[in-house]
């Protein structure tokens, strides 16, 4: 889990009990944007990984796997 996911969950939980302040709302929107970016980058790398595997390009596959590790944990 990335730190943004923890904070997004905290803000979402607060939202269930009360209105968020403008700063909290803005932070929630930033977390959601960061999450969307993370997900699309992860999916792109997973698709590229499949392409590298199907073409037996192991150097490319190794590079993609390194990039996935740097991106952070998978959900």
List of the chain residues with pLDDT < 50:
none
* Structure confidence at residue 72 (pLDDT): 86
Give the residue numbers spanning the domain of 38: 3-71
Instruction: Write down the pTM of the prediction.
Output: 0.80
pLDDT the model gives residue 2: 85
- Overall domain count for the chain: 1
From CA 14, how far away is CA 63, in angstroms rounded?
40
Per-residue confidence (pLDDT) for residue 40, from 0 to 100:
97
Residue written as token pair 């944990």: 73
């Amino acid at each position: 889990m990335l730190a943004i996911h923890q904070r997004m969950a905290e803000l979402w939980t607060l939202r269930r009990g009360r209105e968020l302040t403008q700063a909290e709302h803005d932070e929630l929107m930033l977390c959601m944007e960061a999450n969307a970016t993370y997900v699309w980058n992860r999916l792109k790398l997973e698709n590229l990984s499949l392409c590298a595997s199907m073409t037996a390009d192991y150097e490319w596959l190794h590079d993609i796997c390194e990039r996935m590790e740097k991106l952070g944990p998978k959900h």
